[in-house]
Amino acid sequence: MEYSFGFMFVGFLLVTGSASPIEHDYCVIGAGPAGLQIGYFLHKAHRNYVILEKSSSAGSFYTKYPIHRKLISINKIYTGRDNKEYNLRHDWNSLLSDDDRMLFKQFSRQMFPPADVMVTYLDSYARHFNLTIRYNTEISDIHSLHGNASTKIGMKDQNGNNYLCRVAIVATGIWKPRIPDIPGHELMDGYEDLSLNASDYEGKSVMILGRGNSAFETATAIYDKTNFVHMVGRHRLRFAWETHYVGDLRAVNNELLDTYQLKSLDGLLEYDINDYKVVRQGGHLYLRENPPPGSQWEEYDNDPLLTPYDKIIRCLGFQFDSSIFRKVSDVASRPSQKYPFIDYDYRSPVVDGLYFTGTIAHSLDYRQSAGGFIHGFRYSARVLSKILNWRYHQERWPSEILPLSNLTTAIIRRVNEASGLYQMFAYLGDIILLSKDGLCEYIEEYPVKLIHRFSEVTGIDTQNKQVLVVLLQYGEGFHGPEEDVFRVDRAATDPEYADYSNFLHPVVHYFQEIPKEQNIRRKKWSHPLPPADKIHHVLEDFSANWDRPLTHVKPLDVFLRRTLKDLYNIKCASTTNMFSQYSISSKSLDSQHCIAT
Ligand SMILES: Cc1cc2nc3c(=O)[nH]c(=O)nc-3n(C[C@H](O)[C@H](O)[C@H](O)COP(=O)(O)OP(=O)(O)OC[C@H]3O[C@@H](n4cnc5c(N)ncnc54)[C@H](O)[C@@H]3O)c2cc1C
Ligand SMILES: *[C@@H]1O[C@H](CO)[C@@H](O)[C@H](O)[C@H]1NC(C)=O
Ligand SMILES: *[C@@H]1O[C@H](CO)[C@@H](O)[C@H](O)[C@H]1NC(C)=O
Ligand SMILES: *[C@@H]1O[C@H](CO)[C@@H](O)[C@H](O)[C@H]1NC(C)=O
Ligand SMILES: *[C@@H]1O[C@H](CO)[C@@H](O)[C@H](O)[C@H]1NC(C)=O
């Protein structure tokens, strides 16, 4: 009796009350830069979409972070050029759009702008493009609903409204502080609620846990007031200039290195914090070894960590909040995972119709490219929009058909101009499909880790086609902590030795046919692609202009003519084998033999 009553009550609510679900084809969760960027593309494509945002304005992350209010993304106003696409190579803050009024330089002229300007910018962007955003809507209980024909995604907000979405795109960012699970962790101050009051640090002895930009940003903000700052981390310092990874320590934050090495009391230490506990004794904080029961650790009386501290500040980064899902196991194997499960097409491998975008999807190029930052994920969001267009609306990826005679010029133009290839280096590549009739189909900015699923992802046929993949890459021995990136012999200057290029440069990979699943398994971890049939390096260039007729264009042209000689319908002299199968240089190759007649 009671059961059937309850059931009828629910049924009643479903048809008449507020519990009847709000339905959309696309539900984007989060109106940070990533949610706005995918929203822009959905809006432009006239999709039925909504962006659901828990706070009352867009870009709320930046109302608080970074705590000391200076962005570390470059806002370089002048490049000497007026090519809009090229200029995005040096503008790390703008979202993509077709309206110049929505470029970040219209909002700030500072190289490293204040974070408040980002909030203003994101809000203006959302308004300008009339993006459909429901503010003050905090989403939870995301789950999969299996219907007869299709699966949908259900979720609810804090007011009990239900949403039903064909596709859900999670853009909730990474904002949950990572707190080490050690005794006494509650005695530390967290980066997320640091005092900005200078007098709280005057004459204080401070330890900062962490090695990233937030740790160093904090050190820079307080080191002129403290007795000293000790910074503790597990690894050797990783400079962005050595690793070419913008998430590593940036020069704009590194002042404390001087006061360490010029003996002004600050210093860096390498310890694994998980072996310690925090204790308070006599008004001071100490880190004490916390040996597992039974083990005997020797303590030396010169251990730097015996220092008494007034404050211990943790700046250990952030993680994804998986609690917005009904089942954590849908998105992570444990709640403390930094990133959710995700495939290279930004899709959940577990829940049908669930996608991720923004900094949350950075696991795909973590410590490699720029996908965790605005200047990287604005391109990933555009890629995602193209993936969705084909998968759900049968709209193929855009492509351009070129005659073979225009191929060299087209590649040279793209490598000198395209911003997506430049920011998402070694990750997004231009794909060129070559058919027997000598026509080239040119597809821009494809995530090359999905090369073996090209047709499925783009809707473009690859049968009987040879393939070129154009990427920008750094040289292999020029990448990583402890690399001397300033050594005097760092640059290759002779086109014959283009494959020794160290700095970012174009690399053209040739495949007789599109790589298959089994080829992908032969891919080396550090390589963006499986082994190619031929590779051509375009010589590195001091100003990253790869357009010199003799050093850049001609060697590329010769490579293409030799590699695709059946298409160019020419006979190349079979030159000596003193060249590797890889780079082919212009100087030593008698290029006359390779010019079409
Ligand atoms: C300290 C720090 C400094 C940084 N500085 C820079 C920088 O200078 N430049 C740069 O490019 N990158 C910077 N980053 C990286 C930065 O995280 C990203 O650029 C950016 O904020 C990520 O954008 P996003 O849209 O993916 O996520 P967010 O900007 O975090 O946006 C997520 C949005 O989702 C909303 N949301 C969350 N949960 C819910 C929910 N359950 N329901 C509804 N809405 C929800 C949030 O309110 C928020 O508006 C920094 C990161 C950190 C940690
Ligand atoms: C946004 O909407 C306003 C009012 O409807 C309209 O005037 C404006 O052109 C729209 N902007 C864009 C970029 O579509
Ligand atoms: C499933 O299919 C049946 C028969 O076609 C239909 O009556 C029912 O409403 C469908 N259920 C859902 C949830 O779509
Ligand atoms: C800063 O802190 C000092 C003491 O720690 C206090 O007297 C002062 O009022 C604080 N200033 C602000 C602006 O909160
Ligand atoms: C090919 O190149 C020629 C000469 O530069 C140019 O005029 C033509 O527009 C190009 N064709 C295409 C399809 O790009």
Q: How many residues would you count in the chain?
A: 597
Q: Report whether residue 129 contacts ligand 2, using a CB cutoff of 6 Å.
A: yes
Distance 34 CA to ligand 1 centre (A): 8
Query: Which of 399, 401, 406 has most ligand 5 atoms within 8 Å of CB, for mutation?
Result: 406
CA of 197 to the centre of ligand 4 (A): 6
- Give one word for 481, left, alpha or beta, with left for phi > 0 and alpha for psi -120 to 50: beta
Q: If you measure from the C-alpha of residue 442 to the centroid of ligand 5, how many angstroms do you get, rounded to a whole number? A: 14
* Pairing assessment for the beta strands 534-537 and 505-511 based on DSSP bridges: antiparallel
Q: What is the pLDDT of residue 481?
A: 81
434 Cβ below 6 A of ligand 1? no
Does residue 66 line the site of ligand 1, with CB under 6 A? yes
Strands 22-29 and 49-52: parallel
* Ligand 1 centroid distance, CA of 32 (Å): 6
Q: Is 467 in contact with 461 (CB distance < 8 Å)?
A: no
Whether 13 and 27 have beta carbons less than 8 Å apart is answered as no
Q: Which atom of ligand 2 is nearest to the CA of 129?
A: 13
CB-count burial class (<10 Å; 0-12, 13-18, 19+) for 273: buried
Strand 205-209 and strand 311-314: the pairing is parallel
The SS3 call for residue 207 is strand
**Which residue's entry shows tokens 């998980």?**
274
pLDDT given at position 303: 87
Ligand 3: residues with CB < 6 A are 147-148
Residue with tokens 């010589």, as numbered in its chain? 539
Cα separation of 199 and 202, whole Å? 5
* Backbone region of residue 216 per phi and psi (left: phi > 0; alpha: psi in -120 to 50; beta: other values): alpha
Q: What pLDDT shows up at residue 570?
A: 57
Q: Which atom of ligand 1 is nearest to the CA of 357?
A: 26
- 542-546: long-range contacts (C-beta < 8 A, 24 or more apart)? 542/491, 544/503, 544/504, 545/416, 546/412, 546/415, 546/416, 546/505, 546/506
Cα distance between residue 492 and residue 588, in whole Å: 17
Report the nearest atom of ligand 5 relative to the CA of 401.
13
The structure tokens 């962007």 sit at: 125
| Consecutive H or E run containing 446 | strand 439-447
Q: What is the pLDDT along the chain (597 residues), one digit of tens a residue?
A: 333 333 333 333 343 335 699 999 999 999 999 999 999 999 999 999 999 999 999 999 999 999 999 999 999 999 999 999 999 999 999 999 999 999 999 999 999 999 999 999 999 999 999 999 999 999 999 999 987 778 999 999 999 999 999 999 999 999 999 999 999 999 999 999 999 999 999 999 999 999 999 999 999 999 999 999 999 999 999 999 999 999 999 999 999 999 999 999 999 999 999 999 999 999 999 999 888 777 777 778 898 988 999 999 999 999 999 999 999 999 998 888 999 999 999 999 999 999 999 999 999 999 999 999 999 999 999 999 999 999 999 999 999 999 999 999 999 999 999 999 999 999 999 999 999 999 999 999 999 999 999 999 999 999 999 999 999 999 987 778 888 899 998 999 999 999 999 999 999 999 999 999 999 888 988 899 999 999 999 999 999 999 999 999 999 999 999 999 999 975 454 443 333 333 444 443 434 444 443
What is the model's pLDDT at position 300? 81
Q: Is the CB of 46 under 6 A from ligand 2?
A: no
Determine which residue's CA is closest to atom 8 belonging to ligand 3.
148
C-alpha to C-alpha distance for 203 and 224, rounded to whole angstroms: 10
- Atom number, ligand 1, closest to the C-alpha of residue 55: 47
pLDDT score of 482:
81
Distance 408 CA to ligand 5 centre (A): 11
Paired residues of 152 in beta bridges: 145
> How far is 450 from 529, CA to CA, in rounded Å?
9
**Ligand 5 pocket, residues with Cβ under 6 angstroms:** 402, 406
35 lines ligand 1 (CB under 6 A): yes
Instruction: Name the closest-CA residue to atom 10, ligand 5.
Output: 406
Residue with the smallest CA separation from ligand 2 atom 5 is 130
**Distance (Å, whole) CA 500 – CA 506:** 12
Residue carrying structure tokens 């650790």: 297
Of 422, 429, 460, the closest CA to residue 447 belongs to: 429
Nearest to 180 by CA among 275, 286, 267: 275
Q: How far is the CA of 106 from the centre of ligand 5 (A)?
A: 35
Q: What per-residue confidence (pLDDT) applies to 478?
A: 78
Decide: 50 in ligand 1 pocket, CB within 6 A. no
Q: Which atom of ligand 1 is nearest to the CA of 37?
A: 25
Which residue, chain included where needed, has tokens 């783009």?
Answer: 458
Q: Tell me, what's the pLDDT at 336?
A: 85
The gap from C-alpha 207 to its chain's centroid, in whole angstroms, comes to 30
Which DSSP string do the residues of 264-330 spell out, in sequence order? SS-EEEE--GGGEEEEEETTEEEEEE-PPTT------TT-GGGS-BSEEEE---EE--GGGBS-GGG
Distance 568 CA to ligand 1 centre (A): 49
Ligand nearest to the CA of 125: 2
CA-to-CA separations, 555 to 552, 585, 593, in angstroms, rounded: 6, 6, 14
pLDDT at residue number 96: 98
Q: Which residues pair with 16 in a beta bridge?
A: none
Question: In angstroms, how far is CA 6 from the centroid of its own chain?
Answer: 48
Ligand nearest to the CA of 147: 3
Q: Which of 148, 151, 152 to mutate to test the pocket of ligand 3 (most atoms within 8 A of CB)?
A: 148
Residue 363, classified by CB atoms within 10 Å of its CB into exposed (0-12), middle (13-18) or buried (19+), is middle
What ligand is nearest to the CA atom of residue 129? 2
Residue 50: which of 64, 39, 62 has the closest Cα?
Answer: 39
Q: How far is the CA of 459 from the centre of ligand 2 (A)?
A: 33
Nearest residue by C-alpha to atom 4 in ligand 2: 130
Give the E-state strand segments of 290-427 in sequence order: 311-314, 318-319, 354-356, 400-403
Going by their DSSP bridges, the two strands 311-314 and 189-190 should be labelled as parallel
Question: What are the structural domains, with CATH classification, of the chain?
Answer: 10-174+319-392 (3.50.50.60), 185-316 (3.50.50.60), 399-547 (no CATH)
Residue type, 433: L
**Alpha carbons 156 and 142: distance in angstroms, whole number:** 7
The pTM of the whole model exceeds 0.75:
yes
Q: What Rg value do the Cα atoms of the chain yield, rounded?
A: 27
Task: Give the separation between CA 188 and CA 278, rounded to whole angstroms.
Answer: 8
